[in-house]
Amino acid sequence: MLTDSIRATIRTLPIDGNAAKLPGRRQAIRGSMPHMPHMQLRREQPADHDAVRAVHLAAFGDHGQMIADLVSDLRRSVTTDRGLSLIAEHDGATVGHVMFTPSLLDAPRRLVCVEVLSPLGVLPTWQGRGVGSALVREGLRLITAQSPPVVFVEGDPRYYVRFGFTAGHTLGYRRPSL
């Protein structure tokens, strides 16, 4: 299980149709990482499922099994026009993965379809080299094309604030589990 402190932190990124306003946009990496020429970012294919599972098993340690199973469940909600599953590949080996999946926001008068970034994992030997940041930035660029009104992420604000996420409660959002 994720810790309570991680669960308690909800971040949102309002997407207003002007992607240029996204912080970090200028550093967005499209498909490759210039400082790592053999690194490619691409959409996950069925043949990648085992490698993606291995990434999360290694990245999340004791929670790896749960996260890997979560990915298998969430993957069913990713379609061509909703959600996103993106991998970072180095010389043909999968070293990182990020997933965005559609979810419903319970707004006062209607349910609004939003996107949720989760999970994000990078193989331990590849952490701290910009792979996670590249996956988040490229993922946000691609998911913006689907025009979701908002993207939520539950995670450490020290990491996600750099991508432009803002504390959900400051924008009036409440956690689903009150």
Ligand X SMILES: CC(C)(COP(=O)(O)OP(=O)(O)OC[C@H]1O[C@@H](n2cnc3c(N)ncnc32)[C@H](O)[C@@H]1OP(=O)(O)O)[C@@H](O)C(=O)NCCC(=O)NCCS
Choose, by CB under 6 A, the member of 36, 60, 105, 166 that binds ligand X. Answer: 60
Which residues are CB-contacts of 99 (< 8 A; sequence separation ≥ 6)? 71, 74, 75, 78, 83, 84, 85, 86, 117, 118, 119, 120
Q: Shortest distance, CB of residue 3 to ligand X, whole angstroms?
A: 10
Question: Does the protein bind ligand X through residue 16 (CB under 6 A)?
Answer: no
> How far from chain centre, in Å, is Cα 8?
17
Q: How far apart are CA 161 and CA 155, in angstroms?
A: 10
Question: Does the protein bind ligand X through residue 69 (CB under 6 A)?
Answer: no
Question: Does the protein bind ligand X through residue 24 (CB under 6 A)?
Answer: no
- Identify residue 38 by its one-letter amino acid code: H
Which of the residues 147 through 176 are near ligand X (CB under 6 A)? 155-156, 158-159
Q: Shortest distance, CB of residue 58 to ligand X, whole angstroms?
A: 9
Choose, by CB under 6 A, the member of 29, 33, 59, 150 that binds ligand X. Answer: 59
In the sheet that holds 93-106, the strands lie side by side as 32-33, 36-43, 84-90, 93-106, 111-122, 150-154, 10-14, 166-167
Q: Shortest distance, CB of residue 130 to ligand X, whole angstroms?
A: 5
Nearer to ligand X, 26 or 109 (CB): 26
Q: Shortest distance, CB of residue 129 to ligand X, whole angstroms?
A: 5
Residue closest to 143 by CA, chosen among 55, 74, 78, 68: 78
Verify cis geometry, omega within 30 degrees of 0, for the bond prior to 119: yes
Which of the residues 111 through 140 are near ligand X (CB under 6 A)? 119-122, 127-133
Nearer to ligand X, 60 or 149 (CB): 60
Q: Shortest distance, CB of residue 171 to ligand X, whole angstroms?
A: 19
Nearer to ligand X, 103 or 133 (CB): 133
Is-contact 32 41, C-beta < 8 A?
Answer: yes
Q: What does the binding site for ligand X look like in residue numbers (CB under 6 A)?
A: 59-60, 119-122, 127-133, 155-156, 158-159
